[in-house]
């Protein structure tokens, strides 16, 4: 191979190496940018979840003047119930269950029923009936005190009996809500739709909530 050929070969090789290095550098820059963007997106998502109380870490529920207790998972064969409160606190000599609903904007019957179940479990396993429990709602952590009254427990017992009856084969009885029926896409094909012409009856005795 003569000198001219060697120079031509060397020049071509260096050109290819330069092109390869340029592509490699460009790829590396793009890869780094992608990681930076993903990190920012993930950080934003984590921040939003934490603000809403949905992060993967355990969030401590704090009630003023109360002492936190290690949470237990209760399983009662006697009652046929099981559950794990979001928090347990010691207050006034009682162990009080706390349930957190970070996406809720108002109290619903199912939240109250869930808390009443926890009160039953706490009474069985801790040996003392809680006089109340707490619901913590929304990202602003609004606190609601739910009294553990005889009337509420009777309401819960009726609900549990109906649920167990359905599991044993009894027919379920739908109880549609007029406002929900009005917005339902399949209302016209439903045999259990509510009569929208009837006035909504509000029974003040059925209210289960005591806001604090």
What kind of fold does domain 67-191 have according to CATH?
Answer: Lambda Exonuclease; Chain A (3.90.320)
> Do 71 and 85 contact (CB within 8 A), yes or no?
yes
Q: What is the pLDDT of residue 170?
A: 85
The strand pair at 81-83 and 74-76 is best described as antiparallel
Residues 50-92 have pLDDT tens digits of: 554 444 334 445 566 678 999 999 999 999 999 999 999 999 9
pTM for the whole structure: 0.60
Backbone angles phi, psi at 133, to 5 degrees: -140, 175
Residue 15 C-alpha from the chain's centroid: 59
- Give the whole-angstrom CA distance, residue 73 versus residue 160: 20
% of the chain exceeding 90 in pLDDT? 44
Which helix (H) or strand (E) is 19 found in, with range? helix 3-51
Residue whose entry in the numeric block shows the structure tokens 């553990």: 148
Annotated domain spans of the chain: 1-51, 67-191
């Amino acid at each position: 191979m003569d000198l001219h050929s060697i120079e031509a070969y060397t020049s071509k090789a260096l050109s290819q190496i330069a092109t390869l290095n340029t592509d490699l550098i460009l790829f590396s820059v793009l890869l780094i940018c992608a990681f930076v963007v993903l990190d920012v997106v993930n950080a934003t998502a984590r921040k939003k979840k934490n603000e809403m109380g949905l992060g993967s870490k355990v969030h401590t529920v704090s009630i003023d003047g109360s002492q936190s207790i290690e949470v237990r998972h209760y399983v009662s064969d006697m009652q046929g119930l099981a559950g794990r409160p979001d928090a347990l606190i010691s207050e006034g000599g009682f162990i009080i269950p706390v349930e957190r609903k970070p996406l809720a904007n108002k109290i619903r019957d199912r939240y109250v029923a869930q808390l009443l179940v926890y009160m039953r479990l706490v009474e069985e396993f801790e040996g003392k009936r809680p006089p109340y429990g707490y619901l913590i709602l929304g990202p602003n952590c609004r606190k609601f005190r739910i009294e553990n009254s005889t009337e509420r427990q009777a309401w819960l017992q009726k609900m549990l009996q109906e649920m167990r009856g359905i599991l044993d084969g009894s027919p379920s009885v739908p109880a549609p809500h007029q406002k929900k029926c009005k917005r339902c896409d399949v209302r016209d094909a439903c045999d259990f739709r509510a009569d929208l012409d009837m006035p909504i009856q509000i029974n003040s005795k059925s209210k289960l909530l005591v806001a604090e």
